[in-house]
Amino acid sequence: MQMAPIGVFDSGLGGLTAMRWLVRLMPGEDFIYFGDTARLPYGAKTKETILKYARQDIRFLLSYKVKMVVAACGTVSSVGGNGLGAEFGIPYTGVVDPSVKAALQATKNGKIGVIGTLATIKSGSYEAELKKLRADAEVISRPCPLFVPITESGYCSADHPITKAVVAEYIHPLRQTGIDTLILGCTHYALLAEAISRVLPGVELIDSGHATALAVQQQLAKSGLLNDKKTGGMLSFYVSDRPDEFERFGTMAMEGFDVKCTAEVSVDTL
Amino acid sequence: MQMAPIGVFDSGLGGLTAMRWLVRLMPGEDFIYFGDTARLPYGAKTKETILKYARQDIRFLLSYKVKMVVAACGTVSSVGGNGLGAEFGIPYTGVVDPSVKAALQATKNGKIGVIGTLATIKSGSYEAELKKLRADAEVISRPCPLFVPITESGYCSADHPITKAVVAEYIHPLRQTGIDTLILGCTHYALLAEAISRVLPGVELIDSGHATALAVQQQLAKSGLLNDKKTGGMLSFYVSDRPDEFERFGTMAMEGFDVKCTAEVSVDTL
């Protein structure tokens, strides 16, 4: 099982911000990535729809005999919790728990902001987990529904007028709240970290993909499943629509790791 | 058959910009509207996916014994052409042909711009139809992939910084082209007409929903199917996800006609 690949999924590009850390931390591991680009964005859908899609994504990864599944998607992690892993009886993590732990380590004043998709914020997942671990934490949550569309369209530069206008709309109101830490509760949002930082100078941003990659490494090590080769891991990418765009923006999101799609997967077969 | 309802569909809110004209022109007709909000946006999907969804939407409307189907969606109209209507053997129109005719009536210099989703522009539908009817027409096409997400998020005001930034990005480059007419080739875009006009003063905008509503009225009259009651038409709205948001933004898109969802329809049943 140590040699088996790790499965990672998201609705689109966002999960690649976790992948870039997973690959850096565990360069000898093989990874199977599935981006459900045909049904993106997940964050504006209902709970039932999101869970149905997440189960199909997990089954797809399991068909590759993965040793662990990572829901590199804030929406699925929020709506499905850890129950999805238990349902399939596999080692599993979402991004909520690791991000919450990182935020609680980072905060000094206990005031923590959370941004995510509509479904994520509506679920209250981050807030519940933060308060479970620190009852007196003050949590300010805010949905940012256009962050996924603008990053999927490539508008990530902190200098671009579109990025600036959308980031200002959602992030500026957080300036008056006194938060010293902000959880980027959707993996897409790491692509906007610089633009967000400019509006919130001095606030520590928690990259949910980074926190999750660290948690995956720990979890695999603890259960003796870590493949500790230092190089040579294979990356396979599958998407359900528009592989060309995925490769173009994906290589940017992966900060230089080459993204080549192995195959396009019809959602009818999921 | 004169008393049967008219079926209208789109991926979400956009088709309501056609509905507002359909209802104004034919206030005695009953309408069944289906907005496929669970699978929105259509415009960034592949041809096969779009056609599959469109066929399911049409079948849903046919279950209400509609006398005509209107694809109030630039993407479906572009990718499916008139073949979709023929396939089901029903009176049918998309938005491409009516918009093209309106643009050719409006233009003085024969230079016509077309904006639409990625799938619409890639299909070349508007350009082909324009050149079929006027061989020397000069056509400048441009995809505007963020227009659907921003209108679905309610950012339609010409004064809002997000609307301004996104409209500037896509529309400003058209200023140098010399077009005197611009087809809003996606029904969502009519919600941005004022913002677009500010960037392109003096250019005539063709509202594809308006042009299509006129064409529907003519087609029904010609075939003796027009219900010429002057009032009392019933409007029924069905969506596949998030009826609350649809009602909230829908009433705005319909410019005051009250949008109340009759039911939410699971895409699994389509």
The secondary structure of chain A, three-state, reads: CCCCCEEEEECCCCCHHHHHHHHHHCCCCCEEEEECCCCCCCCCCCHHHHHHHHHHHHHHHHCCCCCEEEECCHHHHHHHCCHHHHHHCCCEECCHHHHHHHHHHHCCCCEEEEEECHHHHHHCHHHHHHHHHCCCCEEEEEECCCHHHHHHCCCCCCCCHHHHHHHHHHHHHHHHHCCCEEEECCHHHHHHHHHHHHHCCCCEEEEHHHHHHHHHHHHHHHCCCCCCCCCCCCEEEEECCCHHHHHHHHHHHCCCCCCCEEEECCHHHC
User: Which residue do the tokens 């579109």 mark?
Assistant: A162
B119 occurs within a structural domain: yes
* Cis upstream peptide for B98 (omega within 30°): no
Q: Both B173 and B242 in a single domain?
A: no
A1 occurs within a structural domain: no
Q: Both A119 and A163 in a single domain?
A: yes
Q: Do B166 and A168 touch (CB under 8 A)?
A: no
Rg (CA), chain B: 17
Report in angstroms the alpha-carbon separations of B133 from B112, B126, B200, B209, B246. Answer: 13, 11, 25, 20, 37
Whether residue A183 contacts residue A125, with contact meaning beta carbons closer than 8 Å, is answered with: no
Q: Nearest 5°: phi and psi at B68?
A: -160, 150
CATH of the domain at B220: 3.40.50.1860
Q: Both B188 and B100 in a single domain?
A: yes
Q: DSSP characters for B32-50? A: EEEE-TTT---TTS-HHHH
Q: What is the ipTM of this complex?
A: 0.84
Q: Do A45 and B162 touch (CB under 8 A)?
A: no
Residue B80 is part of which domain span?
Answer: 6-94+210-269
Question: Which residues of chain B approach chain A closer than 8 Å at the C-beta?
Answer: 38-39, 44-46, 49, 145-146, 149-150, 152-153, 155, 161-162, 164-166, 168-169, 241-242, 267
Residue A75 tokens, joined: 């929406």
B1 occurs within a structural domain: no
Q: Both A76 and A140 in a single domain?
A: no
Q: Both A123 and A89 in a single domain?
A: no
Q: Both A66 and A148 in a single domain?
A: no
From first to last of its 270 residues, what are the pLDDT tens digits of chain A? Answer: 789 999 999 998 899 999 999 999 999 999 999 999 988 889 888 888 899 999 999 999 999 999 999 999 999 999 999 899 999 999 999 999 999 999 999 999 999 999 999 999 999 999 999 999 999 999 999 999 999 999 988 999 999 999 999 999 999 999 999 999 999 999 999 999 999 999 999 999 999 999 999 999 999 999 999 998 888 899 999 999 889 889 988 988 888 788 999 989 988 888
Q: Both A82 and A114 in a single domain?
A: no
Q: Both A51 and A150 in a single domain?
A: no
Residue type, B247: E
| Chain B residues within 8 A of A145 when measuring between CB atoms | 153
Residue B260 tokens, joined: 């109340």
Q: Both B249 and B183 in a single domain?
A: no
Domain end, chosen from B183, B208, B233, is at B208
**How big is chain B, counted in residues?**
270
CA distance A177 to A195: 19
Q: Both A204 and A214 in a single domain?
A: no
CA distance A80 to A65: 22
Report in angstroms the alpha-carbon separations of A149 from A234, A245, B148, B240. Answer: 29, 13, 10, 20
Catalytic pick among B144, B156, B186, B261 = B186
The 10s digit of each residue's pLDDT in B134-148 is 999 999 999 999 999
Question: Which residues of chain A approach chain B closer than 8 Å at the C-beta?
Answer: 38-39, 44-46, 49, 145-146, 149-150, 152-153, 155, 161-162, 164-166, 168-169, 241-242, 267
Domain end, chosen from A208, A227, A256, is at A208
Provide the pLDDT confidence category of residue B44 given band limits of 50, 70 and 90.
confident
Q: Both B126 and B153 in a single domain?
A: yes
Helix extents (H) in B124-179:
125-133, 147-152, 161-171
